[in-house]
Amino acid sequence: MAARLVQRCCWRHLTTFACAPAASPAALLLPAAKLPAARAPPHAPPASIHTFPSKWTADRFSVKEQEEENRNAEHKAILNLIEAATSPRELFQLGELHSLSSNQASLVVTRLSWLAAEKKLETGDVLRDERFQQLLEIVDSQISQVWNNTLVNLLKSLYLLGMESSSREMQSVEHEVLWRLRRLTFRQLASLAEFLAVKQGKESKLLSEVIRKLELRWTELEGTRTVVMLIAKVGHMSPVLMDRLEDKALELAEQFSPEDIRKITLALAYQNRRSVPLLRAMSYHLIQKHSELNLGVLMDLIFAYGKLNFHQPQVFQKIATDLQPHVSAMTPVEVTRCLRSFALLKWLSLPLCEAISQYALDNSKQLSVSHLCSIIMSFARLNFQPSGSEDFFNMAHEELQGQLDSLEPQLLTDLVWSLCVLQQAKPPYLQRVLAPNFHSGIRGDPSPRAQNLRMKLIQINAAAKLESPEYQGPFLPAEMLSAAEPAAEKVTLLQSSLREALAGVLGSQDNGRWDVHTIYGWHIDAEMVLNSENKPLPLKDFAAPHLPFSEGTKPLPPGARRIAFLRWEFPNFSNRSKELLGRYAMARRHVQAAGFLVVDVSIQPSAPCAS
């Protein structure tokens, strides 16, 4: 603009001399008032019209500038035609009617890709069209003149159209993008990384280079949208980049919408990254700023928290409260999914569980056997008994009748074990899993899956003996009850504190047992026998029916009692709510039924249980 202004001012002064007729030297010496009037030559333009040298136009712009202006106008017109095209035929006609630049040809290809996806066209027909090949030749001939953003979109479009990565045109575009990576903006790099992560995965050489550039330029990262997208789509491919993204997300946590929080927590869950500071920050802002959450966000949040085993009582309470009104309209898959997540978190919301039990009663015909089994197993994990317990379990027994043979061994074992926890296991269930032909396949199998199955069968066997007097057999063989004990776990602070406290009480090591593995499948942290005067007695002298092999044979003296110490070490439950965890509740019942007085040992947690 400044240059044009100077040019116009100069020509305004110069045209006076350029347009006036030549004067004699004498005339130049005369005063201005005495200068003779200029006489217009023949065919001269009117005096009001200035004549300019040929390289200047009437509006005082250079021919070069005018040509560029005309090209810009033509470019805008072609852009409008490309955007207005509604079919591949219209786009191909542009190439026939206009001399397209490489950049314009790239835009046509991008529009073709969009139309093919929008109208579900056969991309093979587009790729085989000669006019499409001509567009690619134009692009390839002057690919260095394609604008950066257009080049990135061109690469995406060729992938979406299904062009072979081995083709010369595709390789040419990829190489040009690779060459220009340093000149691309961070947003363009992020967009390209997202696309390649979905389309090609970790095997893409180009994606590896793009991620390396993102790692180096992470300080340019800004905006919640880019952060959320990279965490969700690209972060799992680079731990270094993911660390940077988590730091940036922590800074932007206050700006995240519920949808952003949903995407980030899901990404963390799928990557199994338990970023406690970030999860805490998002949980805080979720409670403080977002009063209403839709069903999809609620479902995904509780799933992610469950998978990460991240406990945030206020968030759980909010999710459970917000979910309850939606239960009646949810699908069986949604119901079982959210209940399973709460069960994994060991978080009991009585109103929500009551609503789900009523849902099961109202929709019993829509529930598949696997859905019903999932609900029962989740209730067992929380030791939840519906207020309409009789109606619920009558419905469950009716629906499960005749379906046990169709269940896989693992699912059938989990179902019967859960019914034992809830004290609802009837003889047909027990007979099915305790039959020799059912458990013969896991004998001698050292795999963790088989060992877990064996332990649950032992606990089912204990429930059949101790809590089901009407059950007459079969039972597990003795050699299965005395099978290899589980590997010793690391001693916890609570266990070491218990041993220190009991050492002074027992007086002698002979008066106590530690880490006792019973034939009932339950672990007792410490065991002792007290006489009628509450003094410890040597354990090796007395019979121990709860052990596979007993050192002594004497019965307990009159008034003596067996004491069992059971460790309660679940930080998400208060000391008053031990009955909420089904596994612990069943262990406690069985140990009591075996003749022990149970002493619960726990550390008072900071987070109370929900009710």
Decide if 185 contacts 223 (C-beta within 8 A).
Answer: no
Determine how many CB atoms are found less than 10 A away from the CB of residue 569: 15
d(CA 82, CA 92): 10
By three-state DSSP, how is residue 489 classified?
Answer: coil
**Band (396; pLDDT cuts 50, 70, 90):** very high
**Band (604; pLDDT cuts 50, 70, 90):** low
* DSSP secondary structure string for all residues of 148-216: HHHHHHHHHHHHHTT--TTSHHHHHHHHHHHHHGGGS-HHHHHHHHHHHHHHTGGG-HHHHHHHHHHHH
> Which pLDDT value is given to residue 571?
55
Vertex 71 angle, CA 67 and 73, to 5°: 115
Structure tokens at 162: 């299904």
Is the bond preceding residue 474 a cis peptide, omega within 30 degrees? yes
How much is the average pLDDT of 222-240?
Answer: 92
Residue 530: in which H helix or E strand, if any?
strand 523-530
> Which pLDDT value is given to residue 515?
86
* DSSP secondary structure string for all residues of 206-251: HHHHHHHHHHHTGGG--SHHHHHHHHHHTGGG-HHHHHHHHHHHHH
d(CA 258, CA 179): 39
Percent of the chain with pLDDT over 70: 83
Structure tokens at 227: 């952060």
pLDDT in tens, 356-367: 999 999 999 999
- For residues 594 and 96, the model is more confident at 594
pLDDT in tens, 498-525: 888 888 788 788 888 888 888 999 988 8
CB-based contacts of 207, cutoff 8 Å, min separation 6: 193, 196, 197, 200, 201, 237
What is each CA distance from 524 to 109, 265, 515, 555, 567, in whole angstroms?
71, 38, 6, 21, 8
> Which pLDDT value is given to residue 328?
92
Q: Which of 123-132, 234-243, 473-482, 593-602 has the highest mean pLDDT?
A: 234-243
Vertex 384 angle, CA 466 and 576, to 5°: 85
> Which pLDDT value is given to residue 443?
76
d(CA 120, CA 118): 6
Determine how many CB atoms are found less than 10 A away from the CB of residue 562: 20
> Which pLDDT value is given to residue 580?
58
Structure tokens at 60: 């005082």
- For residues 34 and 319, the model is more confident at 319
pLDDT in tens, 47-76: 333 333 333 223 333 344 344 445 577 778
**Band (485; pLDDT cuts 50, 70, 90):** low
**Band (199; pLDDT cuts 50, 70, 90):** confident
What 8-state DSSP symbol labels residue 580? G
CA 573 remoteness from chain centre: 27
CA 497 remoteness from chain centre: 39
pLDDT in tens, 31-42: 333 333 443 443
pLDDT in tens, 398-411: 999 888 888 999 99
> Which pLDDT value is given to residue 47?
37
pLDDT in tens, 542-581: 888 888 887 778 888 898 999 999 887 665 554 445 555 8
Rounded mean pLDDT of the chain? 82
Phi, psi of 513 (to 5 degrees): -125, 150
Structure tokens at 215: 């790692």
Decide if 332 contacts 367 (C-beta within 8 A).
Answer: yes
Determine how many CB atoms are found less than 10 A away from the CB of residue 95: 17
Determine how many CB atoms are found less than 10 A away from the CB of residue 53: 9
What is each CA distance from 362 to 327, 334, 385, in whole angstroms?
11, 16, 17
Q: How buried is 349 (Cβ within 10 angstroms: 0-12 exposed, 13-18 middle, 19+ buried)?
A: buried
Cα distance from N-terminal residue to C-terminal residue, the chain:
73
Alpha helix stretches (DSSP H) within 56-160: 63-84, 88-97, 102-118, 123-128, 130-141, 148-160
Give residue for tokens 């109208």.
Answer: 119
What pTM, to 2 d.p., does this model score? 0.76
pLDDT at 2 over 80: no
Percent of the chain with pLDDT over 90: 45
- For residues 74 and 310, the model is more confident at 310
Give residue for tokens 């916890």.
Answer: 492
How much is the average pLDDT of 337-365?
Answer: 93
> Which pLDDT value is given to residue 214?
94
**Band (92; pLDDT cuts 50, 70, 90):** confident
Residue type, 55: K
How much is the average pLDDT of 246-259?
Answer: 93
How much is the average pLDDT of 134-151?
Answer: 90
pLDDT at 7 over 80: no
How much is the average pLDDT of 8-28?
Answer: 40
* DSSP secondary structure string for all residues of 431-486: HHHHSHHHHGGGTT--SHHHHHHHHHHHHHHHHHHHH-TT-------HHHHTSPPP
Where are the domains positioned within the chain? 493-602
- For residues 348 and 580, the model is more confident at 348
How much is the average pLDDT of 296-324?
Answer: 93
